[in-house]
Structure 1
């Protein structure tokens, strides 16, 4: 149990860097010979790039993916010079020198991006990745565009080090779209001999050899999310969130709690208020459906999750546990990030990436 006394915020977020490293090693073993990279976008899924990136590097990771140039700059500062850093979300116009200056690799997803990188890259070729869209319809060259580009002399100046795509439904093993993507990407890969290929995300690592290719790009699973929904998770939990009970009160039958009186006590109830809310990344959608554990007992959220406060019904919790200053567990043990996401009507990804900046943070095992 975390000691929350003298905490500058009502919640404490504990990040287990040892578990993060163990999850990377578990995924590397599953990948069976493919290089295992790490996706550290969204501030390492809310865990913090400055702490998470070095822990993953110490575990053996050499290649990292972020979403934005600003994240890449943060990652470069946290990693040794030989770490490879790719930036996923396209190549903003006029940004070539920023990429080249920090030794970052853009992920190019259009002919315009390819042309601009090639023009800026002629003076000294730096590698880049090519993103091929095999079904997501967000970013990337179409399959025909990628096949046509394979014979274009401009590739000499692009210096592609990786050709990649992204699975649409990897967590659904029998989805026919996955088979179609695997087939389309295999054709593209064959058109780029000598260039490493990457298709598998966290769930894709567990789909067998077909999607793995030369490099896999796990993200969510590294941070404790289950990459095999419907089956026991092979990953270790990484984050734990506890909040201090700020106040306890009893309410009579018929009394309401929270904004707009959306909850009414059906009988005499004991309520506890936690000092955190949606400003800390705990979603408002968890109102009336989320829960915390107090003294090991499930205590439902009542009323509306507000900006800085959450109300629990602690009537069934032991009195010695449901008291001012005592901890309530919001993420951890049976309340893993997937369960918390379901309880909030969302997904664990949103829970992780929304983890607030106001929490007192503790890193362990790094």
Structure 2
């Protein structure tokens, strides 16, 4: 029987915290005893809930977490006061006191940030821990090789501040054969070999699968924890952790030759029975995944049956072809799976010319969110 609260929503977003912790264990078991498995929980833990996912990981043994923003770190440290929390976006001007008071560690990525953090350490007379981010080729955040060496040789800075971690980020880890991976590994080793006593980190989710050479002292997986696909060239070994379902609002007939949806982009090539479901791009269902007469779009799953999208994805609804599916399964009020164990986020993302990261972090703002097992 449908719960009264459930009936008020157009869709359901189910998150399996046990699957997230199981994925963390899978990744941890790929490491040597030397390396620690952290967790990247930025962007609301990739859409699964920052506090809920992080607490589950903490209870399973994870002790180091990475977020993007200071505000995320503050939310996190309230529930796990003894966890180590790093802010990947670095030191925003004027935030050193707030971070230090809450035991939060910025990942310093420029000489300005290093100097501001060192000045704060000098003023307070304390060696507040922070990480250093060195760029090895992605050319986003990060100290250049010359800047890193200058920082590490600067006696005034080293007198008041010793890095708790030196890290870099892979540009092409999703493609194991890409030469950029080995090039970045070589650059990272060359830059950091003179500092054996400082922990090091290079591997994200993809880096974990690239092998022990990339693991160093700490890995910081993200997408793999939430069931996403880290590598482009191999099957995904992670458990699905998210399921998105949308409610069927009505089923109707469309005669051959009529068009469906905005812009009349798709024509019925036969007499169709279609289901209109309460999910659209306002719920994270990408408009680019829609279907036209020229190119087919994505699909949903109904009890093991594929239901192709018909026409454009609109703000609040999607139309599905359910002609060959039992009317009992496509009745008004029934739910269809838009993403989950039957339809991986990476497969859905391919139809929208995007990646599963984008789907996961944009899902279900208007859906009923619940935490339960997917099995």
In the TM superposition, what whole-angstrom CA distance separates every residue of 1:146-190 from its partner, at most 9, and x where no partner exists?
122211120232331000000111121121111111011012221
1:52-63 to 2 correspondences below 5 Å: 52-63=53-64
Aligned pair count reads 364
The 3-state SS of whatever aligns with 2:134 is strand
Question: Are 1:83 and 2:91 an aligned pair?
Answer: no
| 1:6 shift after superposition | 4.7
- For structure 2, which runs of at least 5 residues remain unmatched after alignment? 292-296
For residue 212 of structure 1, the aligned residue among 209, 212, 215 is: 215
Partner of 2:362: 354
Gap change, CA 1:275 and 1:4, over 3 Å in 2:
farther
Q: Which runs of 5+ in 1 are unaligned?
A: none
User: Equivalent residue for 1:344?
Assistant: 352
After superposition, the C-alpha distances for 1:102-153 in whole angstroms (9 at most, x for unaligned) are 2110010111100001101221221000000001101000112212221112
- In structure 2, the partner of 1:35 is 36
Q: Could you tell me the TM-score, scaled by structure 2's length?
A: 0.94
Q: 1:331 aligns with which of 319, 326, 339?
A: 339
Distance 1:148 1:130, change over 3 A: same
- Matched with 2:153 is 151
Q: TM-score, normalised by structure 1?
A: 0.96
User: What's 2:316 paired with?
Assistant: 308
Q: Could you tell me how far 1:296 is from its partner in structure 2?
A: 1.8
* 1:65 aligns to 2:73 (yes or no): no
| Aligned with residue 278 of structure 1, among 270, 281, 295 | 281
The separation in 2 between residues aligned to 1:158 and 1:22, in whole angstroms, is 37
> Using a 3 Å threshold, how does the CA distance of structure 1 residues 340 and 140 change in structure 2: closer, same or farther?
same
Tell me the CA shift for residue 365 of structure 1: 5.6
- Counting only pairs closer than 5 Å after superposition, residues 169-208 of structure 1 correspond to structure 2 as 169-208=172-211
Alignment RMSD, CA only? 1.6
Q: What's the counterpart of residue 300 of structure 2?
A: 292
1:241 is matched with which residue? Answer: 244
Provide the rounded CA distance (Å) in 1 between the counterparts of 2:196 and 2:111: 20
SS in 1 for 2:328: coil
Query: Is 2:128 the counterpart of 1:126?
Result: yes
Instruction: Give the Cα separation in 2 of the matches to 1:6 and 1:141.
Output: 50
Partner Cα separation in structure 2 for residue 31 and residue 228 of structure 1: 17
Q: Mean alpha-carbon deviation: is it higher for 60-69 or for 246-255?
A: 246-255
Give a deviation string over 1:247-266, Cα, whole Å, max 9, x none: 11101122222111111211
* Structure 2 counterparts to residues 226-237 of structure 1, below 5 A: 226-237=229-240
Of the candidates 264, 267, 274, which is equivalent to residue 267 of structure 2? 264
- Tell me whether 148-157 or 218-227 shows the greater mean CA deviation: 148-157
User: Which whole-Å CA distance do the structure 2 matches of 1:88 and 1:358 have between them?
Assistant: 29
Residue by residue over 1:261-302, the C-alpha shift from the partner in whole angstroms, topping out at 9 and shown as x without a partner, is: 111211211111111111111111111111101232111111
The CA distance in 1 between the partners of 2:14 and 2:364, in whole Å, is 12
